[in-house]
Amino acid sequence: MASMGGVASSRKSPVLPPDKGSFPLDHFQECKEHMTRYLKCMKQHGGDHAACKEDTKKYLSCRMENGLMTKEDLGKFGLDTDVDLQASRAAQQAHMDRANQRRQEGFVAGKARGQERL
């Protein structure tokens, strides 16, 4: 009798580990102070991660020092360079303004390309 709802597959897709390996929980709360400071900063700045860069560095460094994650160069996380916070916020605001303007105007397929194909 055929199964209801589709064909069962005998092949299973392979299970792949996370890119960075496991991410153990901080059971002994070795980095809780840094985590709390980071979360408080994020809340104060409305989720603006650029404003909490120093807290992010301290939290990740603590995790690396205590064997809670693999030691990596913070540059791989985008934390090595000094970001001009004002320029970053201005660019983000400009992007949001353009997106809001498009939403208000409504979406018309092909409008962004102009009338080239007519």
Give 10-residue mean pLDDT values along the chain (118 residues).
Answer: 57 74 83 96 90 92 92 85 71 88 79 58
116 Cβ partners below 8 Å, 6+ apart?
A: none
Taking the C-alpha atoms of residue 57 and residue 60, their distance in angstroms, rounded to an integer, is 5
Closest CA to 74 of 92, 46, 53, 91: 53
Tell me what pLDDT residue 12 has.
Answer: 79
Tell me what pLDDT residue 116 has.
Answer: 54
Tell me what pLDDT residue 21 has.
Answer: 62
